[in-house]
Structure 1
Amino acid sequence: MSAAGFLEKLLDGAEMAWMPLGDVTQYEQPTNYIVKSANYSDVHKTPVLTAGKSFILGYTDEDRGTYKGSRSPVIIFDDFTTANKWVDFDFKVKSSAMKMITSSDDARFILRYVFHWLNTMPSGLVEGDHKRQWISNYCNKKIPIPCPDDPQKSLAIQGEIVRILDSFTELTAELTAELTAELTARKKQYNHYREQLLTFDEDEVEWKALGDIATLRRGRVMSKGYLRDNAGVYPVYSSQTANNGMIGQIETFDFDGEYVSWTTDGANAGTVFYRNEKFSITNVCGVIKENGACPLDLKFLFFWLSTEAKKHVYSGMGNPKLMSHQVEKIPIPIPFPDDPKISLEAQKRIASILDKFDTLTTSLTEGLPREIELREKQYAYYRDQLLSFPKPDAGAA
């Protein structure tokens, strides 16, 4: 059955009233619950909240003036952005720029029902607008209340809608917790094996300066205009970490094949990537290629530098740097240096094991937000369907 059909069956011809939100709810300024100190710490127990995306700003040891959300859940509503959160635990707040919303009559209006409906509303904010939205706007919004003259039936309908929508939010929370736990476990496992596989006794390897066994090259300056005017199919990488550092694509390439690249400047200095394609890099990056002086597997080198390169970043003058002359000095462990075949086999074996863990961890890392987004879209779809009641006239909005 579709959501619309289910809703029709649930209502069973019941009357629907559109009531001002200010009549269905009541609000309180959080003046009595404002935290006095910003000395937050995870060792404290009481969360300090904002209605915005960050939600929990930190934890305080202040125990007086705490709102008991565990006894009486509340909606916190940001007066200026209309962001809102459902809170069913004890808390304090950072500022008074919000409202704490509760039901005006628990025998007629379920607050959780109000919360779900509230999030179907577009904010309607105008750019540059900076006024308190609850009093000037939101308390006049009209919310659909089924069977207004039959509180028992009304609560039953509201409660069933809440039950369905809560099942979606609970499923999302459970899935998030499960995937997060799996990701944490895989990261620990990956770090354990990386440490084990990349820890060598002195007699197991010969240490070589990277500059003695590899050739290093820097990238070139490429402006936004250059990237725009020379748009093509070959990636250009720079100092960012998102999208593997890609900032654009051009019609030519500077490098073709297998390389390790690194970021030379800025907050991401010392970040390394494995490349095996036709590509170019900007002047805040460099590439590394084996020079044939000794056996060197570049995927093995990538995993070694993934942790080692950051140790050699110079942060003087407030601008972190890892320049070519610094990279050349990084010591690289070469197993079985006197037998190139066995040395490469050993390096490839280590790289293969770590590559599998890296692929799994990356897959979970990328899949987690996608899966959460999918569940949130599913929730939003059914929320909008279940709360899209017919309005009696155009003025009921």
Structure 2
Amino acid sequence: MSKLDELIREFCPNGVEYKRLEECCTLVKGKTPIQKAEPGEYPLVVTTNERKTCNTYQFDRPTVCIPLISSRGHGVASLNSVYYQEGKFALGNILCGVTPNDEDYLSAKFLFEYLNYKKDTLLVPLMKGGANVSMTVDSLKRVSVPVPPMQVQMEVVQLLYKFTELSESLKAELVARQKQYEYYRSRLLTFDVRRGGDN
């Protein structure tokens, strides 16, 4: 039995409590127009993994950042990712920041992992519209999330980060092996051209 199984059995014998986001978090729409942001010292969370910068900040606590618009647009509801950011940062005006009210009750990292994993079943169905598919902050407030005891939340986060690290190292190893394969393939399949038949 794993440590996580033991923690769940010990701390959640009757199941896990669920709460609506509005009951345990503060939800705020981003204020920064992404195209007009003045570059600066603070990260600017946008709808890609790549961060921009901004000269002002809106948040100063660990926060889950959820895009309010479809990743694909043009009538198709989809979300590529949910994002996590801590420290002082600005948030693009097409995202919503979801900040736990009490980090001792609900970890922002746990919330991020859960919402990112469940985005297709919990968040994408909230998107409405024809050409510009989007969701509202009010609809996000009603999303229910599990709130297991903190020991369980931290163990889940720790296990997922270990798997992420392992996955990244395997990707790096695969890239290195691919380069090695290409090098040897090139060496083994390159032959000197010799003229023959002149006797």
Equivalent in the alignment of 1:218: 29
Equivalent in the alignment of 2:74: none
The equivalent position to 2:161 in structure 1, one of 340, 344, 355, is: 355
**1:285 correspondence with 2:95:** yes
Q: Give deviations 1:313-346, integer Å, cap 9, x for gaps.
A: 22541444233222211111122xxxxxxx2122
Q: Which has the higher relative contact order, 1 or 2, with Cα contacts under 8 A spaced 6 or more apart?
A: 2
Equivalent in the alignment of 1:143: none
Give yes or no for contact 1:253–1:279 (8 Å, CA) kept in 2.
yes
**1:331 correspondence with 2:136:** no
1:277 to partner: Cα distance? 2.7
**1:251 correspondence with 2:76:** no
Pick closer, same or farther for the CA change 1:377–1:270 going to 2, 3 Å. Answer: closer
Q: How does the TM-score come out when normalised to structure 2?
A: 0.69
Q: Give deviations 1:176-215, integer Å, cap 9, x for gaps.
A: xxxxxxxxxxxxxxxxx9xxx8xxx893111111111000
Equivalent in the alignment of 2:42: 234
Matches within 5 A, 1:176-195: none
Q: How does the TM-score come out when normalised to structure 1?
A: 0.37
The whole-number CA distance in structure 1 between the counterparts of 2:133 and 2:173 is 31
- Equivalent AA in structure 2 for residue 317 of structure 1: G
The whole-number CA distance in structure 2 between the counterparts of 1:382 and 1:284 is 51
1:265 to partner: Cα distance? 0.5
- Equivalent AA in structure 1 for residue 15 of structure 2: E
1:261 to partner: Cα distance? 1.1
**1:205 correspondence with 2:9:** no
1:255 to partner: Cα distance? 1.9
SS in 2 for 1:287: strand
1:266 to partner: Cα distance? 1.9
1:294 to partner: Cα distance? 7.7
Structure 1: segments with no counterpart, 5+ residues: 1-192, 336-342, 388-397
- Equivalent AA in structure 1 for residue 26 of structure 2: T
Pick closer, same or farther for the CA change 1:378–1:250 going to 2, 3 Å. Answer: farther
Pick closer, same or farther for the CA change 1:293–1:239 going to 2, 3 Å. Answer: closer
Q: CA RMSD in A?
A: 3.4
Fraction of identical pairs, as percent: 23
SS in 2 for 1:232: coil
**1:321 correspondence with 2:137:** no
Give yes or no for contact 1:218–1:287 (8 Å, CA) kept in 2.
yes
The whole-number CA distance in structure 1 between the counterparts of 2:134 and 2:174 is 32
Give yes or no for contact 2:63–2:108 (8 Å, CA) kept in 1.
yes
Structure 2: segments with no counterpart, 5+ residues: 72-77, 193-199
**1:300 correspondence with 2:103:** no
The whole-number CA distance in structure 2 between the counterparts of 1:278 and 1:377 is 44
Q: Give deviations 1:256-279, integer Å, cap 9, x for gaps.
A: 231111111122537212212322
The whole-number CA distance in structure 2 between the counterparts of 1:254 and 1:364 is 37
Pick closer, same or farther for the CA change 1:278–1:251 going to 2, 3 Å. Answer: same
The whole-number CA distance in structure 2 between the counterparts of 1:255 and 1:373 is 42
The equivalent position to 2:85 in structure 1, one of 246, 264, 275, is: 275
The whole-number CA distance in structure 2 between the counterparts of 1:363 and 1:278 is 29
Pick closer, same or farther for the CA change 1:334–1:233 going to 2, 3 Å. Answer: same
Equivalent in the alignment of 1:371: 176
SS in 2 for 1:262: strand
SS in 2 for 1:249: strand
Give yes or no for contact 2:61–2:99 (8 Å, CA) kept in 1.
no
The whole-number CA distance in structure 1 between the counterparts of 2:13 and 2:129 is 32
Tell me which structure has the larger Cα radius of gyration.
1
Which protein has the bigger strand share? 1
Give yes or no for contact 2:32–2:90 (8 Å, CA) kept in 1.
no
